[in-house]
Structure 1
Amino acid sequence: MKTKKSSLLALGVLALTISITACSSSGNNGQTPGEESAANRTSNTAASADSKAQSAYEKQYRTSVFLGDSITEGLSYHDVLREGNVLAGAGKTAEFAQKDVGDLVGRQPEHVYIQLGSDDILWPADNPQQYSLTHYAQLIHAIQSELPKARITLLSVTPVTAEAKKAEPRYQNIGKYNEGLKELASQEHVEYVDLTSLVNGHSDLYDTDGIHFQAAFYPILLDYLKDR
């Protein structure tokens, strides 16, 4: 009888040990409580820093709207700015963007950044640049008419990688297009910011297509623009 009780006691101790071990492994992934807490603190600190940075950009650009194509759309796609501060989409050209003026006016921005041309360069027209800049001027006039107090800044078409140019030779015209865009800005008395040097200085932040950009590029872009 005594032997039977001893066996039952041993089995109970073994079961309890297994249970404690399983709970410990499941709850801490093999880490001590102190190690788990440190890991969580590191994760929470990083998340808090990202949140603070995003809030700072949202505050800085709270009265601004970025109007543009899929490159501009990255600002909201990567959650750097709120969707209300970005009015952009894939395939947008200076002609198509005129349909967005009503939406833009409804947002009542004090500063409008326009970044178009990357798709315009590929437009199947006899002279894509002239065709685009003609519509670009119309877009500026429409915004000035509806938002006469708004500040307007044109952003240059961002350069692409050598591989992207090889795949699509028409991207060779980006430099020429930007010259025309700068001249247009002067004619229409709006501001112009050339992003070429900024992109060339962060060529490691291209996306895989060599045209668009990774999330890390957009905070750098906003920092670059805030003092201009």
Structure 2
Amino acid sequence: MMRHGKNTVKNIFHIDRETGKIRFGKLYIGRRDLLTIVIAAFVLMFVYNVFHRNSEADVKDSTIRENLKFISGYDFSNVASVEKRIAQAGGTMQTVKKSNDFSKTNYKKIFDGCVAIGDSITEGLSSYGFLSEEQVFSKVGASLMKDGSMVRNAAKTFPKAAFFTFGMNDIGNYRGNATAFIKKYRETIADFSSKSPHTKLFVNSISVPSNPAREKNRSLNQYKKFNSSIRQMCRSMHITFIENNYILEEHPEYYGNDGIHVKPAYYKLWLDNMILKAGL
């Protein structure tokens, strides 16, 4: 019985030493073809594990997104390149799994050479210690109407990337006039770009005010209209729009007492999203 089993396996699987081809039954497969199959199987298993292991986890966090970003970095046209990535995958996967555990020092390093520009919510990036004061240009009550000098000062640092976050205060300042707001936003971004032309630009959405905050200040109900206008502006200017609304929608516990400002835990998810969208 044992001999019969060995003969059966030999008939099904055989390596031709002269050609280097592998025979499965009547099918001949080259070694490079086999490697491609193995690689494809590895990637499928990787994708499965990403979703399977996170199926009961918090899928809104950056873990799954970072895993998918890792896979998308494979150069499938180059077998040697993929082999190298596979060899490194173990350590890389461990790093990806810990993406939500970045320390404040990590964020400062990741955003090295970048600036965040905006209002008091942006100011939390430095006041809570996630970014350095040199990386954040912000002001309580900041508005596109009156804080052009702050934006110009940021441009003078010639950053590699700039993240704009305006709108929460301007909803009221512009009395719900999204057209006038966007006109000023365009001018502000164009002015920044003229002074620092090699900076990659990113624009964040206006964060979602809580229901009680919108009931207290009816003008805040315009945030969706303003966000839609910001998105259209970014599309026409070929700038990346960063949608962050999902964070507070899925984590209402991250709201501050006023339903507008946010707790420190919010910033980790916000920073992770900016890292992903900017490819930092």
After TM superposition, the score normalised by the length of structure 1 is 0.74
1:175 corresponding residue in structure 2: 224
Give 3-state SS (helix, strand or coil) of 2:203's partner: strand
2:255 corresponding residue in structure 1: 206
Are 1:63 and 2:118 counterparts? no
8 Å Cα contact 2:113/2:161 also seen in 1? yes
* Aligned residues between the structures: 177
Residue by residue, what CA displacement relative to the aligned partner does 1:74-101 show, whole Å, maximum 9, x if unpaired? 1011111101111011111123232223
1:198: Cα distance to partner? Answer: 1.9
8 Å Cα contact 1:69/1:90 also seen in 2? yes
Residue by residue, what CA displacement relative to the aligned partner does 1:168-224 show, whole Å, maximum 9, x if unpaired? 011110001000000011111111011111221221111000000011211221112
2:141 corresponding residue in structure 1: 91
Higher-Rg member (1/2): 1
Residue identity in the other structure for 1:89 = K
Task: Find 1:114's aligned residue among 154, 157, 164.
Answer: 164
Residue by residue, what CA displacement relative to the aligned partner does 1:138-157 show, whole Å, maximum 9, x if unpaired? 00100110111100001000
Identity %, equivalent residues? 23
1:105: Cα distance to partner? Answer: 2.4
1:152 corresponding residue in structure 2: 201
RMSD of aligned residue pairs (Cα, Å)? 1.6
Counterpart Cα distance in 2 of 1:173 and 1:89? 22
1:13 corresponding residue in structure 2: none
8 Å Cα contact 1:63/1:110 also seen in 2? yes
**Bigger mean CA deviation after superposition, 193-202 or 61-70:** 193-202
Residue by residue, what CA displacement relative to the aligned partner does 1:16-66 show, whole Å, maximum 9, x if unpaired? xxxxxxxxxxxxxxxxxxxxxxxxxxxxxxxxxxxx701100000011100
Q: Which has the higher contact order (CA 8 A, sep 6+)?
A: 1
- In structure 1, runs of 5+ residues without a counterpart are 1-51
2:242 corresponding residue in structure 1: 193
